[in-house]
Amino acid sequence: MKAGAFDDSENSREPKENGLQTAAGQELEAFSTGNFTALKYGNDGPALQPFSRSIFLLKTNAAGCNHVENIEQYLTEVEIGQKLTLLREPRNPVDKRAILIMNREQKLGYIPRRQNEILSRLMDAGKYLYATADDKITDRQDSEFFHSALTVSVYMQD
């Protein structure tokens, strides 16, 4: 079997091994059993580790964009599809479940309060959530809906 290839046929339940290497030359072993695929880092590395994946959670309009000073400038720096950081703000005086949307060090808005309860609990439990920019409005004069000038999709890394 070719390195990096897996036999994922329904009748195959036996582990299939493939010799792979990292860029640093560390030997990797890839295994596939049915629907589960994992990597093992040589004899010195950790045991089987599942491949991580991004799980789509929701799509929403960011709240509070109109309260961010110079938001038009900051939104011009955001590319559609770009990964954005989500940060919990448990001491936010308006919403104890607040989740801030950021691009690098710049605040862009918040996940709306009506949609942040489950997301905040996931983050508080140690899950890694992030957003991607789906759409944006960069000029206040172009829209009466500038308060939600940024549309994002939220994902959980699993």
Give the CATH number of the domain where residue 125 resides: 3.30.70.2330
Residue 27: the pLDDT is 53
Domain count, the chain: 2
List Cα–Cα distances, 127 to 35, 68, 109, in angstroms.
23, 27, 21
pLDDT at 35: 45
Residues 65 and 142 in one domain: yes
pLDDT, residue 66, reads 81
Same domain, 61 and 45: no
Residues 33 and 99 in one domain: no
In a shared domain, residues 7 and 66: no
Q: How far is CA 43 from CA 39, 94, 124, 155, 158, in A?
A: 12, 51, 34, 33, 25
Quick one: pLDDT at residue 52? 73
pTM, to two decimals: 0.65
**pLDDT at 130 (0 to 100):** 97
Please state, in angstroms and as integers, the Cα–Cα distance from residue 84 to each residue in 115, 128, 141, following that order. 17, 12, 25
Enclosing domain of residue 131: 54-157
Taking the mean position of all CA atoms in its chain, how far away is CA 109? 17
User: Are 87 and 132 found together in one domain?
Assistant: yes
Residue 48 phi/psi, 5-degree rounding, is -50, 135
The Cα diameter of the chain in Å comes to: 62
Buried b (16+ CB within 10 A) or exposed e, 19-48: eeeeeeeeebbbebeeeeeebbeeeeeeee
User: How far apart, in whole angstroms, are the C-alpha atoms of residue 122 and residue 118?
Assistant: 6
- Residue ranges, the chain, pLDDT below 70: 1-51, 138-148
Tokens read off for 9: 């046929």
pLDDT at position 107: 95
pLDDT value for 153: 97
Q: 77 and 44 share a domain? A: no
Q: Within this chain, do residues 17 and 73 fall inside the same structural domain, yes or no?
A: no
Is 136 in the same domain as 86?
yes
pLDDT for 51: 67
Q: Quick check: 1 and 20 in contact, CB under 8 A?
A: no
